[in-house]
Structure 1
Amino acid sequence: MADSLKVAIAAGGTAGHINPALALAEELSARGHELSFFGQPTRLESSLVPQAGFAFQPIDVTGFDRSRPWTLLSALWRMWRAEHALDRLFSRQGAPDVAVGFGAYVELPLMRWCHAHGVPFVIHEQNSVPGLANKTSAGQAACVCVSLPVAIDAFRDRVGAHTQIVVTGNPVRRSVISASRSQGRLALGIPEDADMLLVFGGSLGARHINQGVLRLKDELLSREGLYVVHSTGKGEYDSVVGELALTDEEARRWKVLPYIDNMGETLAASDLVLSRAGASSIAEIAALALPSVLVPYPFATADHQTTNARYLVDAGAAVMIADSDIDEESFSQELLSLVDDPRSREAMRAAARGLGQDRAASALADQVESAVLLGE
């Protein structure tokens, strides 16, 4: 598509919504389109979006708490005000050619405004189990894009007669996809010829995963060529450091971090990953074609992390361990067998490459451009 489009993107609340939106924005910007972001002024998007160099417009909305039915009135009032604010903004600056929503409540005013004014819009669902905002918006969307094939069924009865449902994958930012293994290893102080196990459980960490790895300290350190990079989560850091009680020599090969600043380079440096199975983690692991041992968070809504993990497991790119099995022998056997078996890891890498997750941003951008063509 040669003509430059004005694209409005609504994403917010968590990095799991914002980072795929930024990945799409990077791709669309590279194609010559003009981007503007809409999000809440007090949430993470208000800092991440400007840091990435994109225009940010604040929207004041709140979700509806089903346990407190009276919050519906205030949510609807803020929705109405936000739509009118968008109407005034677009009257001054011109309407977008197309909009994209990434599933948080903040998308609803923009999607509703677009529907009322004949502007096509696309929604993207990162998880295997769709959230309420995307389920609400699906009926008027030009295209519903999903990260995982299993999410298609959740939308079949919610889309309009002319709505397409397309599997694009979950977009990953260019800084992750283009990350260098050698630069990552240099930053971490890990030799090029060593094996590296990366352990992380999300921004808050995962206590059970941390405990399971702690019990394997002696086994892991007995592998002389193995380095462990262990991101504990901020709340777990002090206790994990205390329980590991690493000597100076052990600490050279077991690097404990409260969180990971540069996830792209850290992933790129890895030979094997042990992690939860959140949508962003799955997308980044698959995009970099990393062998992984996935331990889904057992209390996720509708057990969606298990469904997320199956996407890689069924492709042969990962193995899955139930959280309840971390204390069992099967956990240590599965993890250590992959640590010791580079041929199995290479087969998992090849399987992950076959998923094409590194092309998700491009695939989603294609659907955004197509929505404009279909609406003409």
Structure 2
Amino acid sequence: MRLLVCAGGTGGGVYPALAILQALGNEAENVLWVGSEGGMERDLVLRAQIPFEAIPAAGVHGVGWRQLPRNILRLIRGTLAARRILRAYQPDVLLFTGGYVGVPMAIAGRSIPSLVFVPDIEPGLALNLMSRFAHTIAVTTPRSRHYFPAAKNVVVTGYPIRTELIGWQRNQARQRFGLDEEKPVLLVMGGSKGARSINRAVLTHLEALLNLAQVIHITGQTDWPEVQQQIAHVPINLQHRYHAFPYLHEDIGAAFAAADLILCRAGASTLGELPFFGLPAILVPYPYAWRYQAINAAYLTENRAAVTLDDAKLSETLLPTLQDLFSHPQRLQQMATAMRALATPDAATKLADLIRTLAAQSPAPRKHKEVQ
């Protein structure tokens, strides 16, 4: 099987694609990843040792009239570049998981069997456009069906989990970070780039937080220098409770497994990773990303697995919320049970099976060429 993966932007679309590739294993003996020029996905893909090509991409929805002609031109250039790649690589299946980079590829490859995976509950405009060319649409929750009322090829699979997150036991994970096994642990993270409002709210109340719980704080690279300066002001008797990192790769699964509660944004990964670990959450939707994160947060909160806080009021509401939750361990346990009930641990396998089905529908094997 020759598989072409097209995903760009942040980890919300990249990580599901990586999890699907892991589930396929050696069956996808040839994989090419197409991303956007200058996109942050390049480093993640090359880190996974997957061949990568970049094409021009840009959005056209909500763009000012001065920028619109330039973005339309990039879309045309991206479609031409996509056609060149498809002629050279001749994939059997296309996989799309998000980002405007998929639009020109979906247009150029509309005759090739394709799977569009929608990580968030509500699809973004780019995924909505790609879904019109897709042979199969996979979604994370049943609620997403609402956004594809006319589509007959929608399958609920859940959100796929990467293998590197799996296998950690609680005591093993806590030993990894040098944590006290008897005291509660708060995990703080803001997504692949970090979250300034979350980081600053935590730093504002850091001493009080450390009196409540041990803290694993994944800050993102941008705020790391500021966090390093604040570490020096943590009282000596509390410093052993604070474990800060700019980013975690191999040990991110250990951080999830070690925690009793997480404070984070509400990106697509929260719909899969938090249920997998049964990890109750305080969610702070990013306020400048349309309403995708707000809808994700509402879904988990309505299922009593999370609490949602307003980004603008976080500094005021964070500490009282944490005090309330950590003083009621029974409520935390109920939230953990509710979160675990939403888990779909076989999502990656389901998505891999959909790709196998599409590959079987692909035209007879052709003489393949390598991308130059």
Fold in common (TM above 0.5): yes
The equivalent residue for 1:149 is 142
CA contact under 8 A between 2:207 and 2:235: conserved in structure 1?
no
Using the size of structure 2 for normalisation, the TM-score is 0.85
Stretch of structure 1 that moved more, 245-254 or 354-363: 354-363
CA contact under 8 A between 1:101 and 1:122: conserved in structure 2?
yes
Letter in 2 for 1:252: H
Deviation digits for residues 123-159 of structure 1, max 9, x if unmatched?
01112332232211212212111223333222325x4
Does residue 173 in structure 1 map to residue 162 in structure 2? yes
What's the CA shift for 1:175?
A: 0.5
In structure 2, list runs of 5 or more residues that go unmatched: 364-372
Deviation digits for residues 39-77 of structure 1, max 9, x if unmatched?
2364333332233243x2414222145221212442243
Separation in 1, partners of 2:225, 2:45? 32
The equivalent residue for 1:248 is 236
Does residue 347 in structure 1 map to residue 342 in structure 2? no
Residue correspondences, number: 356
1:45 to 41, 47, 57: 41
The equivalent residue for 2:253 is 264
Q: Name the Cα RMSD after superposition.
A: 2.6
Deviation digits for residues 228-273 of structure 1, max 9, x if unmatched?
1223333333434545611222111122333334322211111111
Q: Which has the higher contact order (CA 8 A, sep 6+)?
A: 2
Does residue 194 in structure 1 map to residue 183 in structure 2? yes
1:322 to 310, 330, 341: 310
What's the CA shift for 1:281?
A: 3.7
The equivalent residue for 1:84 is 83
CA contact under 8 A between 1:184 and 1:268: conserved in structure 2?
yes
**SS in structure 1 opposite 2:262?**
strand
Superposed counterparts of 1:87-102, under 5 Å: 87-90=86-89, 95-102=90-97
2:348 to 332, 337, 361: 361
Separation in 1, partners of 2:207, 2:49? 46
**SS in structure 2 opposite 1:171?**
coil
The equivalent residue for 1:134 is 127
What's the CA shift for 1:197?
A: 0.8
Letter in 1 for 2:129: T
In structure 1, list runs of 5 or more residues that go unmatched: none
The equivalent residue for 1:338 is 325
**SS in structure 2 opposite 1:296?**
coil
Separation in 2, partners of 1:108, 1:43? 15
Separation in 2, partners of 1:217, 1:73? 47
**SS in structure 1 opposite 2:120?**
coil
CA contact under 8 A between 1:197 and 1:227: conserved in structure 2?
yes
**Structure 1 residues 194 and 96, CA gap change in structure 2 (3 angstroms):** same
What's the CA shift for 1:10?
A: 1.3
Letter in 1 for 2:120: N
The equivalent residue for 1:75 is 74
What's the CA shift for 1:217?
A: 3.4
**Structure 1 residues 217 and 353, CA gap change in structure 2 (3 angstroms):** same
**Structure 1 residues 216 and 80, CA gap change in structure 2 (3 angstroms):** closer
The equivalent residue for 1:288 is 277
**Structure 1 residues 218 and 88, CA gap change in structure 2 (3 angstroms):** closer
**SS in structure 1 opposite 2:98?**
coil
**Structure 1 residues 153 and 45, CA gap change in structure 2 (3 angstroms):** same
**Structure 1 residues 232 and 73, CA gap change in structure 2 (3 angstroms):** closer
**SS in structure 2 opposite 1:102?**
strand
1:221 to 204, 207, 210: 210
Deviation digits for residues 83-113 of structure 1, max 9, x if unmatched?
33124313xxxx3332211122322343334
**SS in structure 1 opposite 2:272?**
helix
% same residue: 31
Using the size of structure 1 for normalisation, the TM-score is 0.84
**SS in structure 2 opposite 1:105?**
coil
CA contact under 8 A between 1:83 and 1:109: conserved in structure 2?
yes
**SS in structure 2 opposite 1:222?**
helix
What's the CA shift for 1:195?
A: 1.5
**SS in structure 2 opposite 1:144?**
strand
1:307 to 295, 317, 339: 295
